């Protein structure tokens, strides 16, 4: 199975404070994983490190077999990576929804008509065609998130990095977004602080701890089970 991402033993400090150390992680083709941890533990920093924003002092990162030590290395694989920022307002590239969604394609030299057709298709698939002519900054948080996601999906990345995509959304919108993300057939790293929430959509959950990344047992493999002739059932479980 080909590997989208392979991280070996990286550590990261900020302002002299160690955030995490000895992080190793491998994400294979179309694998979906979640990384959880409390606020400030370095989840966003880890994603930013993966895309080469911070030089790594030890260990290694390979994205699609390209070693990533800085943002220059990242350039050659950038077209395969989609990054959904935690704050959608930081993601927008144009004030009108359809222009924003088409922006990356046009920047890559895609023909205007083709970009328009792809934009219409992606807005339709996310059920937000009615937002096409709206100003991005006038949208609700959930609408913004879907528009930002459209702008990422339209580039057809092979690996998606999603930084707390459901944070700040109301519960209904969170569920809708998770249903959409579940159907995306790509490698995905989703950052969250809510284990219960990501549990239904990923193959594995990892927690950032002081000494590395710890794989957590998941609902799917551990919670629902049967024994002693009992029907399928669950036990309360703390991690
Ligand atoms: N640009 C920055 N410069 C210095 N420190 C930062 C910067 N951004 C974040 N930090 C600090 O790094 C730590 C980890 O931040 P972050 O990776 O955003 O955590 P998380 O995403 O897990 O909440 C926090 O203590 C934060 O204050
Ligand atoms: Mg963060």
- Give the distance between the most distant pair of CA atoms in the chain: 64
E strand segments, the chain:
3-14, 17-28, 32-36, 60-63, 66-67, 81-84, 159-163, 187-192, 204-209, 212-216
Sequence-ordered list of residues with C-beta below 8 angstroms from that of 173, at least 6 positions apart, any chain: 141, 142, 145, 166
CATH number corresponding to 3-223:
3.40.50.300
Nearest ligand (C-alpha, residue 48) = 1
The whole-model pTM stands at 0.90
With a 6 Å cutoff on the Cβ, whether 11 touches ligand 1 is no
**pLDDT in 10s for each residue of the chain, 239 residues:** 588 999 999 998 888 888 889 999 999 999 999 999 988 999 999 999 999 999 888 899 999 999 999 999 999 999 999 999 999 999 999 999 999 999 999 999 999 999 999 999 999 999 999 999 999 999 999 999 999 999 999 999 999 999 999 999 999 999 999 999 999 999 999 999 888 889 989 999 999 987 889 999 755 544 555 566 666 655 555 44
Taking the domains of the chain in order of start, what are their residue ranges? 3-223
With a 6 Å cutoff on the Cβ, whether 24 touches ligand 1 is no
Distance 44 CA to ligand 1 centre (A): 7
Bridge partner list, 84: 162
35 touches 43 (CB < 8 A): yes
Distance 45 CA to ligand 2 centre (A): 7
- 3-state SS, residue 137: helix
Helix (H) or strand (E) holding 59: none
Determine which residue's CA is closest to atom 26 belonging to ligand 1.
40
Nearest ligand (C-alpha, residue 38) = 1
Atom of ligand 1 at shortest range from CA of 191 = 21
CB atoms within 10 A of CB 140: 11
Mutate to test the pocket of ligand 1, among 14, 48, 191 (most ligand atoms within 8 A of CB): 14
With a 6 Å cutoff on the Cβ, whether 49 touches ligand 1 is no
């Amino acid at each position: 199975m080909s590997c989208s991402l392979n991280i070996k033993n990286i550590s990261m400090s900020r302002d002299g404070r160690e955030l995490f150390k000895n992080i190793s992680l491998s994400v294979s083709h179309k694998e979906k994983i979640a990384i959880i941890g409390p606020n400030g533990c370095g989840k966003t920093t880890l994603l930013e490190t993966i895309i080469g924003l911070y030089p790594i002092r030890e260990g290694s990162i390979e994205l699609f077999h390209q070693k990533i030590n800085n943002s220059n290395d990242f350039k050659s694989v950038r077209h395969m990576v989609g990054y959904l920022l935690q704050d959608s307002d930081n993601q927008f590239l144009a004030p009108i929804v359809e222009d924003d969604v088409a922006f990356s394609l046009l920047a890559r030299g895609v023909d205007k008509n083709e970009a328009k057709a792809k934009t219409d298709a992606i807005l339709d698939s996310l059920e937000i065609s009615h937002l096409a002519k709206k100003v991005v900054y006038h949208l609700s948080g959930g609408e913004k998130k879907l528009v930002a996601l459209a702008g990422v999906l339209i580039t057809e990345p092979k690996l998606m990095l999603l930084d707390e995509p459901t944070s700040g959304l109301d519960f209904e919108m969170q569920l809708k977004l998770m249903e959409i993300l579940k159907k995306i057939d790509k490698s995905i790293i989703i950052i969250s602080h809510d284990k219960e929430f990501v549990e239904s959509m990923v193959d594995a959950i990892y927690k950032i701890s002081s000494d590395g990344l710890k794989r957590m047992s998941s609902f799917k493999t551990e919670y629902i089970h049967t024994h002693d002739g009992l029907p399928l059932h669950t036990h309360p479980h703390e991690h």
